Structure 1
Amino acid sequence: MELQDQRCIVTGAASGIGRAIAARFLQLGARVAIADLDESAAHKTADELGPDGRAIGVRMDVSDEEQVSAGVAKVVSQWGGVDVLVSNAGIQIISPLEELAFAQWKKLLAVHLDGAFLTTRACLPHMYANGHGKVIYTGSVHSKVASHLKAPYVTAKHGLLGLAKVVALEGAPHHVAANVICPGFVRTPLVDRQIPEQAKDLGISEKEVVRDVMLRETVDGEFTSTDDIAEVAAFLAAFPSLALTGQSVVASHGWFMA
């Protein structure tokens, strides 16, 4: 499996799953734009992961049309195109539905769905010009199932499945594939913040949140790792044909079995 000289953009790549994906792509020979809302963290991560210049930091609020366009233009200016997009940036908001502010609903959907749309729209013309490309969305097991307190997140992650299918259809004549990775719970700062929030809202201990909510349906009671998801992303990015497009790949320690 190689990604030699593939020009990749990974959003939300300064930390967590995005950072792990960027690191794995670089190990496989790719050039990677570390796109993140936190510009200083993006540059720091790029320096740490790609001191040979194969990684660059890019400021990108994925919900901002102008920033997305400017960020993709920067990558194209430096490397001449885009071969792989990993739309990974995300946030989480925990709340009972009846208490959820409309502004919070819109904020989460803007990052997950508007961000996926805007980055995809900005990258597709360059992929079409190249005659090939891979679009990879970071979904979730919540692209398949629901959970308490996560109405906007579940809605957004379900929406990514539909977007990927449309991109797969429209991109096929240009040899562009689109797929969704659906991780189980990955122990990232995003998940760590959820544990006390869910404990408070559900009236249970943090230990019970982990054991009885997050990992209850797994086959081994284990968190999925960022490295697990990075391997799946690398597999999808390097897959040689359109035999694998419009699909979702669940990596969840058996939490959801399709």
Structure 2
Amino acid sequence: MSLAGKTAIVTGSNSGIGLGIARELARAGASVVINSFTDRPEDHALAAEIAEEHGVAVRYIKADMSKADECRALVEQAGACDILVNNAGIQHVAPIDEFPVDKWDAIIAINMNSAFHTTAAALPMMRKAGWGRVVNIASAHGLTASPYKSAYVAAKHGVVGMTKVVALETAQEPITANAICPGYVLTPLVEAQIPDTMKKYDMSREDVIRQVMLERQPSKEFATVEQLGGTVVFLCSDAAAQITGTTISVDGGWTAL
């Protein structure tokens, strides 16, 4: 599944799922643009580290995914976009009648609107190149719901719907669009939550993971960032050329319930 000669942009990718995806794309030979809203020396050092490890070109480009113009500028500044992975996302939990309006607006902007703006900027590049892959990182919450996550669930459902539209608009071109729907993924952020959850419930690490964090994940195992990266690489391969407009769940059976 060599992606040599391809340029990939991964939004929200200086940590967690996005970073795992960026690393796997680089491992497959793609040049990669990683992104976040900061512009620190360590962001650029991370790009250099990935480049050295895999022998490909890797750049860090700052862009705030809550701002439409910066979303589009990210793609334009990259100069090429064969593979677009819309991964950037945030979360807030509250009942609908208490949900802060600013949090709603930020989640919709970053989790959903950003994918519209980057895709709109990337499609002309893909058409000019004669090949393209749009991979949107949705969520199990793009297919089902949980209480107190109204903005996140709405945004992720929107991402799934938009993915289908992009697929239909590019159906007769060598471009595909798909959404990956992860369940709970073991990221540094999730790992950091485990000790506090152990104290809260007075449980062992194993019991907290199985009974609390992975209550809705039948496998009782986290997905890994490497597995999600591998799924993205597969969707970019020739084997997936006729997979478009669909969702791939990486959720340990969550949505089978």
Same fold (TM over 0.5): yes
| More moved, 207-216 vs 33-42 | 207-216
Match of 1:219 in 2: 218
Q: TM-score, normalised by structure 2?
A: 0.89
**Cα distance in 2 between the residues matched to 1:138 and 1:241:** 17
Range that drifts further, 111-120 or 49-58: 49-58
Which ranges in structure 2 are unaligned for 5 or more consecutive residues?
none
- CA drift of 1:24 comes to 0.7
Shift of 1:66: 2.2
Aligned CA RMSD, in angstroms, stands at 2.5
Q: Secondary structure at the match of 1:180?
A: strand
Structure-2 change in CA distance of 1:27 and 1:242 (3 Å)? closer
| Aligned pairs for 1:67-146 within 5 A | 67-76=70-79, 81-146=80-145
Candidates 66, 70, 80, aligned match of 2:69: 66
Identity of aligned pairs, percent?
Answer: 37
CA distance in 1, matches of 2:188, 2:124: 34
- Does the 8 Å CA contact 1:195/1:209 hold for their aligned counterparts? yes
1:43 aligns with 2:44: yes
Indicate how the Cα distance of structure 1 residues 127 and 153 shifts in structure 2: closer, same or farther if over 3 A, else same: same
Measured in 1, the distance between the counterparts of 2:74 and 2:62 equals: 7
2:53 maps to 1:54: no
Q: In structure 1, what residue type is equivalent to 2:17?
A: I
For structure 1, the 5+ residue unaligned runs are none
Structure-2 change in CA distance of 1:209 and 1:110 (3 Å): farther
Q: Mean Cα displacement is larger for which, 156-165 or 215-224? A: 215-224
Q: Secondary structure at the match of 1:134?
A: strand
1:211-239 deviation line (CA, Å, top 9, x unaligned): 34431233331111111111111111224
1:30 aligns with 2:30: yes
Answer yes or no: is the 8 Å Cα contact 1:9–1:34 preserved in 2. yes
Relative to structure 1, is the Cα distance of residues 173 and 42 closer, same or farther in structure 2, using a 3 angstrom cutoff? farther
Give the superposition deviation at 1:50. 0.6
- SS of the residue aligned with 2:255? coil
TM-score normalised by structure 1 residue count: 0.88
- Once the 2 structures are TM-superposed, how far is the Cα of residue 35 of structure 1 from its aligned partner? 1.6
Q: Distance in 1 between matches of 2:5 and 2:233?
A: 14
Q: Helix, strand or coil: the match of 1:152? A: helix
Contact kept in structure 1, 2:30 and 2:56, CA below 8 Å:
no
Question: Match of 1:161?
Answer: 160
Aligned-partner SS, 1:174: coil
Cα distance between partner residues in 2 of 1:147 and 1:193: 22
